[in-house]
Structures are given as structure tokens and as C-alpha cells.
Amino acid sequence: MKTEQKTAVAWVDANAERLSHDHMTIWHFHEPSWREYRSAAWYVERLRAEGFEVEAGSAGMPTAFVARWGKGGPQLASYAEYDAVPGNSQDPVPYEKPRDGVHRWAAGHTDPHSALGLAGLTGVLAAKHAMERHGLDGRLVFFGEPAEKMCGSKPIHASHGYYDGLDAMLAWHPTSLPALANTCTWDTHCGCYWSKVYTFECPDPESWQPADASGVVNNHAMARAPAAIDAVCLMYTTTKYTKEAMLPHTGTWTLNEAILAAGQATSDNLPPRFAQIQYAWRCPTIEMAERILAVLERNAEHVAAMTHCTVRSGWISKCRPGLKNHSLARTTFTNFEAIGAPKWGEDAKEFAREVQENLGLEPMAEPFMDEIERLIDPEDGEKLLRHSLPPWQQNYTSDDYVEYTWHCPTVRLFVGRPRLKAPKPGYRYPNWVHLALGGLPAAMDPMFLTAGKVIGATLIDLLVNPEKLQAAQAEFKERTGGGMGGSAWLPPLLGKDYPAPVGYRWPEYVETVRGREWWIPTGA
């Protein structure tokens, strides 16, 4: 690495204690998608204090932001995510224990996005320090991206043109696949994630059947219109029945649902007027996504007719499949090699041994998987990943970072996340173990600080070695048929200036006379 890159890496080491504290601040907010008010406010305040110009509430999303710093030169970007996931509350202790003070199924960081966001911030601040120290021209752009678990903000930012004009994007993620713990995605980037909310309403229940001519039958004794709860139930079951006929035995795809609202009429003999159900589907291609959508649309139309309801729908997310960039992946991984894979110390290992003992397992001298401390070349990682995929499948799983890939050269960096060794083949640790490790600084710091070093060093690399950025941009233009607007380029699938889907009844924390609590009261 050049001197300028070493300056960025040294800044991370010098500020490690403060950055660790910052990570725990976000981890303790544990706010869910579209409702990350405290987390976003923390980032906005911190970035302004660091000298960035920050646009809060970008693209109509109250918990999104865009921060900019620098002048002249290329626009290089990274981002933070900070949403937690409902149903994953856990204290950072070596036994199962949901957080105090909120419902046991409140939100918790799973990937964890608390560390994902802090690594992006770390890398950008490290690059800023090196640019100031060495007088480097360039512009840093740092995005605050809420609702990643719904692949939410990035299609909206893209729709509003926020990624236009970027020269490179550095994306990263705590590893999801231990065999690919420390590497960069080569060919097989994430695929489509589409999500829609269907709203059923019963505006005229009295027209369900004629009134009783005698005038002596009480309305509460009459059959009511099936209405909105039945509509949601029928949508749920009908889609389950038709799911296997959507894309039978075709690649890897999933379809999931969540009921956002239903009822609002208690248990009286009055028709429920309003209900909503959300669907989200992941698949490798746009064509497959459209086939799933067609079945959902037909189901909704027929269900509404059967239940005496109207139906309308609105998009939550509509991601494009990811686009590879070998040049930027190789540049990033070369810096990763110079920095080295993360290493875990005795404090993290002792915590892991306590977990094993509390699960009735024999504590291990080396409780973490060996893979998380090893680098794997992107091309070798690609070969491992392809073992389980059909040859025709070009994209796998989902994440909304793919939106960046259609606006500028983008790398997908993976850094090892601490995972415990299995005591025997086929053993799976309970989910709370991973959640607890996410709140343990000794477990998270090596991972996200390493990611921050790689991001910072690579941002500087693209400034001091402009030929590397030029190669990445040339490849981007080749793959898109000329760059943005080229013959092979895909525009944002939501169209232009799509409104942010923030008004739905998303899970959140609320202030009541009882204090701050999860939307399901603690005593429920």
C-alpha cells in the first residue's frame, strides 16, 4: 500500500476505541425498518460534526440521509444501514435473554446492520483524514440507507436520481457464507427483491345483501359481509395454494408475507373495513419476478370480489439484479490482502466458550470457525458458490446494494463475522447466539474495523491510482452498453421519483403514558 493508504488504515487503529463505542450506540437503538429515527439522527449529527454537508430525509424518507465532503476529483461513495429486525431481541449475554423494557419480540440487529453502518462510516472518515493529510482532491459521498431488510431505501434513492454521477461505490456485508468469509463477490451478485403491499377495504358492507323487509331483524343478527379480514386470510391461503405453480422447480426463489393490519372492528358483528398484507419475493431474474407478480395480482383481484372488498397495491421495493465489476473487486481484494483478515482475541473466545457451556456443549479451545480468519480469492470463492447453483442462474439471494451497480462501478466486500464451530456435523446454534455476538464489542470490533480499513484504503487507492478507477469505469460502460442510458442499462424499476413507502403500519417503538415501548406492549 502507498503512504496515503497507510494513513487511512492508521487512523482506524488510532480511533478504534471511539468507533467501538459508536457501534454499540447504534446496536442499542435497535430500531426497525423505516423507523430508525434515533439511528439516522445520530449519523446526521456525527457527520455534520466531521465537516460533511448532510441532507437529512433524502428522497422523502425521514430516516435517510446523504452526506457530502470534498471538492474536485471523482465522487466515491459508501453507505450505512442501521435497521434491526422485529422478533430478534437479545441482550449481549452468553445465554438466551431478550432485552429488558420491551416486548420479547422487539427488534434486534441480525446481520448486524449496526456494524455494517459503522464500518462504512469508519472507511469514509479514514479516507477523509488521509485526503486532508495528503492534499488529495476528491469527493466523498456517504448514504444513510434505511429499511435494507425490505430492500427499501436504495430503489427509492435510485428513483430520485441520488446515485447519478457517482464514480464508484464500495458496498460491504458481514459474511453470510462462512466459506466465503473474507473476499469480494466476483460474478454472482444478488438478484431481484420485489415487495408489494395489498390493501383490502370494505367501503359499502350494507350492500352485501338486501335489507330485511319486515324491519324486525336486528342488524347484528344478520350475516355480515366477509370483508377485510377474510380478504387477507383468503389472500394468504390462496397464495399458499398457488405458490408451487408460480415457478415450479426453477432455480432458487422465495416468497414471504407479513400481515400489517387486520380488523379494526374488535369482535363485534360488524364487517372489518381494512386490512393489509405485504409480500416479498426473491429470485434471480426480472422475468421470474414478473411471473410471481402476475399470480399475486390475479389472487388479489379474485379475493376482493369474493369478500365484497376493493383492493389496491403499492410497491415497497423493486430491485434490479446486480451487475459485476471485476476491476473494482480485484482492486478491493488486493487491499484486503495487504490489511489481512480479522483476528479474534481471548475475550471473544471466552464469551463463545460460555455460550457453548450454557448449551450443554463441551467448550472448545478455539470456538470460532477457522474460515472467518482466512482470506479467499474472489475467483476461488466464485467456484465454491457455483457448486449449488444451476449453470443458467446468474444472480443469487437479495440485497438492495444491487441498485448501485447500475449507476457506477460497485464492489461487494465480505468480511468474516464470528461464528461458532459446530460440535458435530449438522448441528446448528440457536439464533440468539448470533444476536448476542452482534452486541459484543470483542466479537464485532475485529470485523467492522477490518472492513473500515479495507474501505478506507480502497477509496484512497482509487484517488492515488486513477488508472484503477478508469479500468472499473471502462468495465461498467462495457457491461451497460455505454454507461447510464446505454443499450444494456436498466433504469430504476420504480420509475422516476417514486414516493417512499413510509406511511404503512410498520413495526416501531411508541411513546405512551407507560413510557417507550415496542408496538406490542411489554405486558401483552
Amino acid occupying residue 450: T
Please give the Cα distance from 258 to 272 (Å, whole number): 18
User: Hey, do 3-190+321-480 and 193-318 end up sharing a CATH topology, with the first three levels equal?
Assistant: no
CATH class of this structure's domain 3-190+321-480: alpha beta
Domain boundaries, the chain: 3-190+321-480, 193-318
CB 80 within 8 A of CB 58: no
Q: What digits encode the pLDDT tens for the residues 43-68?
A: 999 999 999 999 999 999 999 999 99
How high is the pLDDT of residue 486?
A: 96
For residue 524, pLDDT over 60 is answered with no
For every residue of 477-499, DSSP letters joined together read: HHHHTSSTTSTTPPPPTT-SSPP
Computed over every residue of the chain, the mean pLDDT equals: 95
Per-residue burial over 469-502, b if 16 or more Cβ lie within 10 Å, else e, is bebbbebbbebbeeeeeeeebeebbbeeebebbb
Per-residue burial over 328-364, b if 16 or more Cβ lie within 10 Å, else e, is bbbbbbebbeebebbebeeebbebbbebbeebebeee
For residue 467, pLDDT over 80 is answered with yes
Among candidates 387, 408, 388, which has minimal Cα distance to 322?
408
For residue 413, pLDDT over 80 is answered with yes
Is residue 515 very low, low, confident or very high in pLDDT (cuts 50, 70, 90)?
Answer: confident
How high is the pLDDT of residue 254?
A: 92
How high is the pLDDT of residue 246?
A: 87
Is residue 130 very low, low, confident or very high in pLDDT (cuts 50, 70, 90)?
Answer: very high
Q: What digits encode the pLDDT tens for the residues 144-162?
A: 999 999 999 999 999 999 9
CB 462 within 8 A of CB 354: no
Among candidates 485, 459, 462, 461, which has minimal Cα distance to 473?
462
- CATH ID of 193-318, from 3.50.50.60, 3.30.70.360, 3.90.420.10, 3.40.630.10: 3.30.70.360
* pTM of full prediction above 0.75: yes
Mean pLDDT of 85-114: 96
